[in-house]
Amino acid sequence: MARVKGGPKTRRRHKRVLAQTSGQFGARHKHFRKANEALLHALAYATRDRRNRRRDLRRLWITRINAAARLHGTTYSRLMHALKSANIQIDRKVLADLAVRDPNAFSAIVQAATAT
């Protein structure tokens, strides 16, 4: 059986990796070996941080809700318990958005939750 060399395929793979690392500094965008390592790390970090972004946003929403709740004389945990007890189903993202953009609506929700 004849020997098969991988020239065109290897060149295509190298060019693809180098194109993906074109914004990197130094050898990380010029030399395939360094570029490949940089790309593998970058993709791993991107995957990890897509999950961490959700965690960070939830933390931000909770902080905003807590700050707004304290202006109305309650705390985050008491407010969330009151919302569950009053059967008001509103998620933290929307609640935080209301706290920042529409304080009147947020205060109405707090009043409705704490009334029961």
| 8 in any annotated domain | no
Task: Answer whether 72's CB lies under 8 Å from 109's CB.
Answer: no
DSSP designation for 116: -
Tens of pLDDT, residues 76-102: 999 999 999 999 999 999 999 999 999
Whether pLDDT at 5 is above 90? no
In a domain, 81, yes or no: yes
Q: Is residue 40 part of a domain?
A: yes
Alpha helical stretches, state H, the chain: 7-20, 32-71, 76-85, 92-101, 103-115
How much is the pLDDT for 115? 84
Query: Average pLDDT in the 28-39 region?
Result: 94
> Model's pTM, two decimal places?
0.75
| 52: containing domain | 24-115
Statement: residue 110 has pLDDT above 90:
yes
Residue 104 belongs to a domain: yes
Q: How far apart are CA 37 and CA 18, in angstroms?
A: 11
Structural domain total, the chain: 1
Structural domain includes residue 2: no
End-to-end Cα distance, the chain: 83
Q: Report if residue 48 sits inside a domain.
A: yes
pLDDT tens string 43-60: 999 999 999 999 999 999
We report the CATH number of the domain holding residue 88 as 1.10.1900.20
